[in-house]
Amino acid sequence: MNETVPQVRGIPVPSRVAMKIPMARPLIDEETRQAVLEVLESGRLAQGPRVLEFEERFAEWNEVPFAIAVSSGTAALLLALMALGVGPGDEVITTPLTFAATANVVLFVGARPVFADIDPMTLNLDPEAVERRITARTRAILLVHLYGNPCEMEAFQELAERYGLALIEDAAHAPGALYQGKPVGSFGIGCFSFYATKNITTGEGGMITTGDPRLARRLRMLRDHGQSAKYVHEILGLNFRMTELQAAIGIGQLIHIDSWNARRRALAAIYDARLRGVDKLAITPRSTPVYHLYTIRVPAGLRDMLRQRLEEAGIETGVHYPIPLYRQPLYQRLGYNDSLPVAERATQEVLSLPIHPALREEEILYVIETVNTLMDELTGG
């Protein structure tokens, strides 16, 4: 055991603070462990009654008629496009400030992702920028509720109706987030991820939500080799099924999600009140965010220095995301030459601090104290 009292630039580290404060930490309760063991003992491991139960519970919780469980958030997005019949010749408008999966699925079905700039206050897609990129080939708007903050759904629903476009919500960051009291993923086709670091997890996994029974039926076939009945292959699908083990974990996670999200909001309020010298993002009016990430903006040039110093202080941070998607090698090779100013600037400035329901009060206070002290130092204040 190392008995030295850790010091970070004169800030004593509280004794109960773990030497490493991670960005995320999955929580699995005893009932869930038992449920997983029961699946193992049941002999039925592949998609079965627990997947169905998880879907039913998720649909009820998210206030949607149908929920279809799949193997990942990426699969959810891909199947949403496939179910809509989006393909070659079609365009899908999306944000450049997201994980690559959001736009890559569009390429994968042979369509073209078209990037629109984002709102400087929330960093979510800007409805006016989206409207400017609509053409005769546009089929869908693929929104991302970035960091768990809902997009301006009223504006996007209006756009979708006016131009006859499908609305796909990448809600990977936002399960439980509300816009005007209504859960995200219940406005358009909702795509959720249960990757290990997300607000709820099944290790890997995803969910698609919809109010359209025909689309729901198509999605169920697409995830299971296009089968309408055993060995009847109606359409071209693949295997995107969730396992019973994942569903057992998901059911156990769903019990806690509302209280975990409330805890994330309480932690975000502490950051909001106490962080100094950094810019905070705006929350969309009339919405309830779920803070998958707590992301600040630090003047370009200082961000990476601050990040390095926080790392040395045992505080893990993230950059979501460091490169606008159109600048990724894949997109450069495809001839993309966008330069969207708000997104460009955001990629230089964003920094995500640890936030998760297991983060303790003394840990968040240590993070805040360290950020404040380092920012004073870095800006000579």
Closer to ligand PLP at the Cβ: 195 or 260? 195
Q: Is 260 in the site for ligand PLP (CB under 6 A)?
A: no
Q: Point out which span in 94-102, 149-157, 232-240, 367-375 binds ligand PLP (CB under 6 A).
A: 94-102
Q: Is 223 in the site for ligand PLP (CB under 6 A)?
A: no
Closer to ligand PLP at the Cβ: 314 or 324? 324
Contact (CB, 8 A) for 360 and 14 = no
266 φ, ψ (degrees, to nearest 5): -65, -40
Q: Point out which span in 36-44, 96-104, 234-242, 293-301 binds ligand PLP (CB under 6 A).
A: 96-104
Closer to ligand PLP at the Cβ: 13 or 171? 171
**Contact residue for ligand PLP among 117, 169, 170, 244 (CB under 6 A):** 170
**Contact residue for ligand PLP among 54, 58, 156, 195 (CB under 6 A):** 195
For 131, other C-beta atoms within 10 Å of its C-beta total 17
Q: Which residue is nearest to ligand PLP (CB)?
A: 73
How far apart, in Å, are the Cα atoms of 295 and each of 24, 155, 164, 269, 324? 13, 24, 34, 13, 16
Q: Is 199 in the site for ligand PLP (CB under 6 A)?
A: no
Closest separation between CB of residue 336 and ligand PLP, Å? Answer: 19
Structure-token pair, residue 218: 């198509």
For 144, other C-beta atoms within 10 Å of its C-beta total 25
For 161, other C-beta atoms within 10 Å of its C-beta total 10
**Contact residue for ligand PLP among 101, 123, 313, 364 (CB under 6 A):** 101
Residue 4's region, left for phi above 0, alpha for psi from -120 to 50, else beta, is beta
Q: Is 206 in the site for ligand PLP (CB under 6 A)?
A: yes
**Contact residue for ligand PLP among 99, 115, 187, 331 (CB under 6 A):** 99
Q: Point out which span in 40-48, 72-80, 122-130, 296-304 binds ligand PLP (CB under 6 A).
A: 72-80
Q: Is 72 in the site for ligand PLP (CB under 6 A)?
A: yes
Q: DSSP E strands: which ranges in the chain?
A: 7-8, 11-12, 66-70, 91-94, 112-115, 138-144, 166-170, 178-179, 182-183, 189-193, 206-210, 227-229, 232-233, 279-280, 287-288, 294-297, 350-353
Q: Is 127 in the site for ligand PLP (CB under 6 A)?
A: no
Q: Is 187 in the site for ligand PLP (CB under 6 A)?
A: no
How far apart, in Å, are the Cα atoms of 93 and each of 106, 121, 164? 10, 20, 13
**Contact residue for ligand PLP among 62, 94, 98, 210 (CB under 6 A):** 98
Q: DSSP E strands: which ranges in 82-159?
A: 91-94, 112-115, 138-144
Residue type (1 letter), 170:
D
Strand pairing category for 7-8 and 287-288: unpaired
Q: Point out which span in 31-39, 169-177, 238-246, 251-259 binds ligand PLP (CB under 6 A).
A: 169-177
The residues near 317 (Cβ < 8 Å, ≥ 6 apart) are 23, 307, 310, 311, 351, 352, 353, 354
Q: Is 356 in the site for ligand PLP (CB under 6 A)?
A: no
The site for ligand PLP, by CB under 6 A, has a size of 14
For 69, other C-beta atoms within 10 Å of its C-beta total 30
Closer to ligand PLP at the Cβ: 72 or 287? 72
Interface positions with ligand PLP (CB under 6 A): 72-74, 98-99, 101-102, 144, 170, 172-173, 193, 195, 206
